[in-house]
Structure 1
């Protein structure tokens, strides 16, 4: 299979990812419609009266609500506060100090000091808190979408295996992000392209991981699936990679990611990846998996089972 199949895979991935905003509304309405119809059925069934069975308690879909909460928390409280500080408070203080006859040369030092205080006393704590809370909302969104489309999630054999898989996955993702930063230093634009590909694959893994975990896929299978079908997952990760790279501030980029990411969770849950477009997998995750295995061996004294 040649270049044509690679571009077809990338195109399908790109198309599936940007459908998320439409899928979000459609899925939310379908769940609400299903719940409403189900609650109107057999409101006083004779069989239920005799057997004393209770009608299942159906809740209104919370997918759209959770997405709006993510937008409010990350957009209103974090992002807006940064914009107000940079474009409102700092220029205002600069104007006041100028009127009071302050030394213009000292403003740069004062501005730097104010930024440090603001970032450490407000932005950083709120950002960390928002990431934790958003993570819980992401899980709610993914779980409800999965249950509606595919039924009850497949559970891991035991809680210890789930914790080990989650911990290993988190470390792999952190090291892969560091790897993307390292390859960006390769000259002649090669590094920039490799870094972009890394981020596309990583964001795709983020988006699909909720569904795959609910399907009972362990990390090795998830990573192998991404590596073997890399054209599709590069395409799927392109929109989120481009959008989150636009802000210069890492904090603002993180806020934008948290606002947009629920849409890509829905896209990943609904998507049907194109497989078989290439015969040669791209083993970009292999170095960090090997390093993570080494770290786990050093910390626990036992090699992780694949």
Structure 2
């Protein structure tokens, strides 16, 4: 009886074996989780490129470079005997077609793409952060942050009107570089639990790095003359900057002179919040 009992005990797995199996299972599940996160980031990035480049931007190019020249060519055939009449009809027809296309297609798709892009951007940022850092720590400062960003964008537009050669353009470019860098890094800092004042102070104290980080996106979005196409370029490239911001380790301590560009908009935002919502928590 004792021999059979001892044999059964010997057949039972030891605690080390059980613990080892648990580690193997946990490691396998962790790798599977990371692969799913990585594939989700890639999927959302491709979707952003497909929506903004393959659908939105391509439809505008087809209309402007395909349909409009086609209708103009038809009018030249129809009014070939009277070119003046054809040009008169075209001068009325082109604005009507452009207005109809913009109202029926561009404007609804622009609004829809902004909503979808914001959701996909957040999804890309969360998945990339979970893949690299783990569970995010969230704060409820989104409303104040959006207000500060909007005011900072307006400040950049104002400094671009400075009547000095190149000074206004350079200051406006610096504003856009810092704003795009804030856009890209804010997802990571928000998930890390950084409050808004800490995020802005970090950018102001290390502004050379963030100006360089946001410079490519600022340049590429300023090349198109159309605001809509510029938005398409931004939406196509921005997922790459979100991923770069999540992976990047900013270079600090390069400059001893902080660039206090966010201070005026913080003061205005605090004033607006004090008069509308109530006293803000100034820390």
**TM-score interval, normalised by the smaller of the two chains:** 0.7 to 0.9
Who is 1:189 aligned against?
166
Distance 2:21 2:244 in 1: 42
Q: 1:123 aligns with which of 80, 103, 106?
A: 106
Q: Tell me, yes or no, if structure 1 residue 138 matches structure 2 residue 121.
A: yes
State the distance in 1 between where 2:232 and 2:281 align. Answer: 34
Distance 2:194 2:203 in 1: 12
- The equivalences for 1:42-191 within 5 A come to 56=29, 58=33, 60=36, 61-101=39-79, 102-156=85-139, 162=140, 165-186=141-162, 187-191=164-168
**Structure 1 consecutive aligned stretches of length 4 or more whose deviation exceeds 2 Å:** 45-50, 53-61, 301-306
Q: How many Å separate the matches in 2 of 1:227 and 1:172?
A: 14
The answer to whether the 8 Å contact 1:154/1:214 transfers is yes
Unaligned runs of 5+ residues in structure 2 are: 1-16, 80-84
2:215 to 229, 238, 241: 238
TM-score (norm 1): 0.78
- In terms of mean alpha carbon deviation, does 178-187 or 106-115 score higher? 106-115
Segments of structure 1 that go 5 or more residues without pairing to the other structure are 1-44, 157-161
- Contact 1:293/1:304 (<8 A) preserved: no
CA distance in 2, matches of 1:47, 1:274: 42
Distance 1:78 1:241 in 2: 20
Give the CA deviation at 1:210: 0.5
Q: Distance in 2 between matches of 1:107 and 1:72?
A: 33
Give the TM-score normalised by the residue count of structure 2: 0.84
Q: Computing the radius of gyration over CA atoms, which structure comes out larger, 1 or 2?
A: 2
In structure 2, distance between residues paired with 1:304 and 1:121: 44
Greater Cα shift, 73-82 or 145-154: 145-154
Larger RCO: 1 or 2 (CA < 8 Å, sep 6+): 1
Equivalence for 1:285: 262
Aligned counterpart in structure 1 of residue 248 of structure 2, from 252, 256, 271: 271
Return 58-67 or 224-233, whichever deviates more. Answer: 58-67
Deviation at 1:151, TM superposition (A): 1.5
Counterpart CA distance in 2 for 1:222 and 1:118 is 41
Aligned counterpart, 1:252: 229
Match of 1:4 in 2: none
- Partners of 1:84 and 1:260 lie apart in 2 by 21
Secondary structure of 1:225 counterpart: helix
Q: State the partner residue of 2:272.
A: 295
What SS does the corresponding residue of 1:240 show, helix, strand or coil?
A: helix
* CA displacement at 1:303 relative to structure 2: 3.0
Distance 2:229 2:159 in 1: 23
1:296 and 1:304 in contact (8 A); partners too: no
How many pairs does the alignment contain? 253
CA root-mean-square deviation = 2.0
Q: In structure 1, how many angstroms separate the alpha carbons of the residues matched to 2:21 and 2:280?
A: 57
Q: Determine whether 1:200 maps to 2:200.
A: no
